[in-house]
């Protein structure tokens, strides 16, 4: 299990924003409505105007998700401290970060950070981005490639044959 920390504790350089197609089923679907939006919201929820509604924090669904992440970086000046790759996500409970990998840059001034992370999304997932922490200046390195992909749950062939 990966440790989740508040994103506000991190300082770093954003490497890439992950396209929503990687986590599309976790994004809320918005329907365009032209008239009677407020009335239709009350009608759908069963709440009459003036009635109190249950707090949103109690109704959040929790979904466990896993991602593969990798970043290839080339440094012009070797950093003195370790660098780390984080996935930063925003859901209904706020913005959080999960450590993917951490390393010291070798004499070659190249670094590959990669790993698999799993975390629990509370409610909907609104944004996901890759962040390099431990880097002081964005002009001190070049991003060769960034890769983030959701791991899909696939039933094993042996389990389906035995059923």
Using one digit for the tens of pLDDT, what is the confidence trace for 94-114? 999 999 999 988 777 889 999
Q: Is residue 35 part of a domain?
A: no
Count: domains in the chain: 1
Distance CA 88, CA 86 (A): 6
Q: Is residue 40 part of a domain?
A: no
Question: Which residues lie below 8 Å from residue 17, measured CB to CB, with a gap of 6+?
Answer: 127, 128, 129
Domain range for residue 63? 4-28+58-151
pLDDT, one tens digit per residue, over 72-81 is 999 888 888 8
Position 154 confidence tier, pLDDT thresholds 50, 70, 90: low
Q: Is residue 43 part of a domain?
A: no
Q: Is residue 39 part of a domain?
A: no
CA quadruple 44, 47, 49, 55: dihedral sign? negative
Q: Is residue 15 part of a domain?
A: yes
What's 112's domain CATH number?
2.60.120
Q: Is residue 112 part of a domain?
A: yes
pLDDT, one tens digit per residue, over 117-150 is 999 999 989 999 999 998 877 778 899 999 999 9
Distance CA 125, CA 29 (A): 11
Position 39 confidence tier, pLDDT thresholds 50, 70, 90: low
Task: Note the pLDDT of residue 34.
Answer: 42
Q: Is residue 103 part of a domain?
A: yes
Mean pLDDT, residues 49-59: 52
Beta strands in the chain (DSSP E): 4-6, 12-17, 62-75, 83-91, 94-103, 110-122, 125-133, 141-150
């Amino acid at each position: 299990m990966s440790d989740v920390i508040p994103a506000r504790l991190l300082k770093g350089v954003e490497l890439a924003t992950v396209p929503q197609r990687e986590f599309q089923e976790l994004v809320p679907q918005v329907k365009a409505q032209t008239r009677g939006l407020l009335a239709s919201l009350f009608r759908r929820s069963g709440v009459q105007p003036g009635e109190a509604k249950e707090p949103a924090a109690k109704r959040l669904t929790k979904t466990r998700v896993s991602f593969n992440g990798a970043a290839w970086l080339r440094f012009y000046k070797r950093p003195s401290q370790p660098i780390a790759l984080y996935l930063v996500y925003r859901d209904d409970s706020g913005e959080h970060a999960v450590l993917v990998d951490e390393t010291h840059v070798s004499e070659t001034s190249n670094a590959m950070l990669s790993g698999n992370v799993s975390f629990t999304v509370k409610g909907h997932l609104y944004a996901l981005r890759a962040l390099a922490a431990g880097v002081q200046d964005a002009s001190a390195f070049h991003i060769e490639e960034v890769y983030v992909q959701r791991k899909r749950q696939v039933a094993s062939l042996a389990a389906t044959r035995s059923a």
